[in-house]
Chains A and B, each alone.
Chain A
Amino acid sequence: MKKLASLLVVVAVLSATAFAGTIVGSAHDFSNKNWNNTGEICVVCHAPHNTNTSVTDAPLWNHEVTTTNFTVYSSGTFDGTIGQPDGASKLCLSCHDGTVALDNFGGTTNGSQFIGGGKNLGTDLSNDHPVSFTYDAALASADGEIYNPTTQNSGLGGTIDQDLLISGKMQCSSCHDVHNTQAVNGTKLLVINNSGSALCLTCHSK
């Protein structure tokens, strides 16, 4: 009984900081945008029926998908293989590469609203942290300065692989919580508070 009480305290503490968010009112709540005349939140990205399945694991996708051939990150000291963005990252880039209109969803292809400013990563991703690469124990071993994702705790309850990767790959969602369900308040939807560069150092063992 005493043990259970302690656990509840911990859960309560964590809930207060990490699980309090919601997409409502967040940066990805487009329900009041003049280019979204549905007034809905989810519809810009998701629909319950007839969705786009061209992207692997795309969750009921309702937004036009980017066809950009990206310039990807490269570095002489990177030991993995970085291909074209796939999975969740490709979905993010379907707004954040600046080539697909925000309002190209639900079958619309002639939208006119494009993402701007620093949120537009462009089609040249060579100056952005790499995504869509397999981050496994072998990569960790070859690099020597990143943790083994299958054994290293993410700080969110499980391992890096369990909590931050999708099908063993680093994606945009490894750092960013698009739905703001667990993102740290006041950050760019970061899944872990980056004070002390804690998010970076979750994987990077420098």
Chain B
Amino acid sequence: MKIKWILFIVLPGLCFSQSIVGTVHNLSVSGPGSVKALSETEICIFCHTPHAASARGALWNRTDPVSNYTLYNSSSTEAAPGQPSGSSLLCLSCHDGTIALGNVLSRPVPISFSGSGTLAGRGSDLTTNLDDDHPISFTYNSSLAASDGELVDPSLLSGPVHLQGDKMECTSCHDPHSNVYGNFLLATNENSALCLYCHDKNFWSTASHQTSNKTWNGNGTDPWFHTDYTTVSQNACENCHDPHNAQGKERLLNWLNEENNCLHCHNGSVASKNIEAMLSKTYTHNVYNYQQIHDNKEQDPVQALHVECVDCHNPHAANGGSSQSPNVSGALQGAPGIDTNGNPTNNAQYEYEICYRCHADSPNKPSSPTPRQWEQNNVRLEFDLGNTSYHPVEGPGKNTNVRSLISPLTESSTIYCSDCHASDGPGSPKGPHGSIYPRILKFNYNTQENTSESYFAYELCYQCHDRNSIINSTDKFGKDVHKKHIVKEKFPCNHCHDPHGISSDQGSHTALINFNTAVVNPDPNSGRLEFRDTGNYKGECYLECHGKRHGPKTY
């Protein structure tokens, strides 16, 4: 009976399971953390005093930090972070690591802690370099939301996230008094719920990084080193971003080297497709070659040659959706591009538009390995539908009678760049990540002189063009042109055909004829280097090749 009475009197003072008392912000000797006072019993005192408080407000019991902070800076943020203000200054009076936790206004002698008594060197030490932390102390108003385009209008902010005045401060995300959700967050950040109160990323609702329940198999680097969540979906933004002390300061990426943000998951340890393995091949879009060159606000077409995963993929948008050419696949959803007219778009509709960012109008773009009668490295011009001849990437081709096509392909079919340029090997992930074949071709494509014809020699071409039709057709074209050149003379397809197309600005050959000038020269008599299309499987050539003059040869 006595016990019951005493409990009744004592318990109301001790029931603080959801309160600051049980958190590491209880810096008193009774606190649960490793950083705490040696003997001080009061809890509130480390921040608050009932009398003679700092002019900062909130009955603040600490002096303001005096540091001149290095601020967050990013080419893609429209916000203008200022020196920390408002409640952020209060937080930083401990969390910049410069001021001892026990230095409070209400005590003439600092409250004793073990060690330096500051947070210096700890994970909670943001330091005075705030350039690797989510920006704070910036005005977040409707005009910012409008100029950013992917921020919720602050007038529509719902839920626990709130501004101080019209500024985002530490307290917009954190409640220093309550640690129900970890990291003193105002709400759970599972599925990045807290981030998404403000950030409204286009395509996010269907993005794999939001929907995938994949887990890490324990191999390689822990991709989720700063969270306790165990699926892609749960980690959401934090799959790639770290709101504090981020290695990749600009855009708060988990890792400094851009590709690591992708490849720590896309290496077979989380994602089902192992992109890292593709990038270890000889011919790759070598994302390892470039550091801090890509900028997601960079001008399109790309000026400084480089490639990163995000040059082709939008991690806020990408999903596993399938597609038909020329439309972008789910993996390329929401990526930037250049359209057929050379105009930039931030939401490519067609796969080729993404390739055109670098392979069309960019300076210093990769050049063709074959010297041609008409040199053209701008693939946008090569595939233009106004040309007389092109592989059907932007739209169906001009040749209405291509008998070698393997069903279901027809003359009205279109193909992707990535039907030819892709990782080799069965089961490899789609897309031109890496191949054992030059120019990241999906299959072997011999371009050397004296190549004995075989299925393998021109495996790339024979995916669509039936080998038997090409070399065994019995008409004059079949025998005297293809079989003679390919089988008997052992010339590769590439000697006569330019696989991309012929820009209308330069030539008007049909059938992708654009001679390899390393071996094919003008007819010395007429000076002509020309192919004349005279009807179905009929034509004539003016040239000299291996000492053989065609002046013309007709079929």
Contact = CB atoms under 8 A, between A and B. Distances in A.
B1 A206 contact: no
B157 to A, nearest CB: 16
A2 B1 contact: yes
The contact size tier of chain B is 20 to 34
Given A75-B58, A196-B42, A155 B2 contact: no
A152 B471 CA distance: 94
B304 interface: no
A76 B165 contact: yes
Contact of A128 (B1, B42, B50): B50
B172 to A, nearest CB: 13
B164 interface: yes
B9 A196 contact: no
Given A153-B12, A155-B12, A200-B44, A128 B5 contact: no
A63 B165 CA distance: 43
Interface string A187-202: 0000000111110111
Interface stretch (B13-21, B242-250, B404-412, B428-436): B13-21
B554 to A, nearest CB: 90
Q: Which of A7, A14, A194 has the most CB of B within 10 A?
A: A194
A127 B59 contact: yes
Contact of A206 (B5, B19, B45, B164): B19
Nearest to B51: A128
Nearest to B10: A155
B5 A196 contact: no
A141 interface: no
Interface string B49-79: 0111111011100000000000000000000
Given A128-B53, A195-B41, A76 B19 contact: no
Nearest to A153: B12
Interface of B is mostly: loop
Contacts of B231: none
A152 B12 CA distance: 9
A84 B20 CA distance: 32
Nearest to A73: B59
A196 B43 contact: yes
A10 B6 contact: yes
A112 to B, nearest CB: 25
Interface in A4-34: 6-7, 9-10, 14
B164 A118 contact: no
Given A128-B53, A155-B12, A201-B16, A196 B30 contact: yes
Contacts of A75: 57-58
Contacts of B178: 206
B5 A129 contact: no
Nearest to B176: A206
Contacts of B52: 118, 121, 127-128
Nearest to A129: B50
B165 A6 contact: no
Interface in B122-180: 164-165, 177-178
B388 interface: no
Nearest to B50: A129
A202 B15 CA distance: 11
Given A127-B52, A127-B54, A127-B55, A145 B12 contact: no
B28 A196 contact: yes
Nearest to B55: A127
B20 A206 contact: yes
B77 to A, nearest CB: 26
Nearest to B16: A201
A119 B30 CA distance: 29
Nearest to B56: A127
A195 B42 contact: yes
A206 B55 CA distance: 22
Interface in B248-292: none
A201 B19 contact: yes
A198 B42 CA distance: 8
A178 to B, nearest CB: 15
A196 B41 contact: yes
A129 B43 contact: no
Contacts of B165: 76
B20 A129 contact: no
Contacts of A10: 2, 5-6, 9
Nearest to A74: B57
Nearest to A122: B52
Interface in B15-46: 16, 19-21, 28, 30, 41-45
Interface in A165-206: 175, 194-198, 200-202, 204-206
A53 B469 CA distance: 115
A66 to B, nearest CB: 17
A14 B10 CA distance: 11
B53 A127 contact: yes
Contacts of B57: 75
B39 to A, nearest CB: 11
Contacts of A121: 51-52
A49 interface: no
Interface string A126-160: 11110000000000000001000000110100000
Given A196-B41, A196-B42, A197-B44, A76 B1 contact: no
A204 B41 CA distance: 17
A200 B12 CA distance: 13
B86 to A, nearest CB: 9
A6 B2 CA distance: 5
A197 B45 contact: yes
A175 B19 contact: no
A4 to B, nearest CB: 11
B21 A196 contact: yes
Contacts of A198: 13
B544 to A, nearest CB: 87
A18 B44 CA distance: 23
Given A127-B53, A129-B51, A201-B16, A3 B1 contact: yes
B43 A201 contact: yes
Contact of A155 (B6, B9, B30): B9
22 contacts: A7-B5, A9-B2, A10-B2, A76-B165, A77-B58, A128-B51, A145-B177, A155-B13, A196-B28, A196-B41, A196-B42, A197-B28, A200-B43, A200-B44, A200-B50, A201-B16, A201-B21, A201-B44, A202-B13, A205-B19, A206-B20, A206-B177
Given A118-B51, A129-B50, 10 more contacts: A6-B1, A6-B2, A9-B2, A10-B2, A118-B52, A129-B51, A129-B59, A197-B28, A201-B21, A205-B19
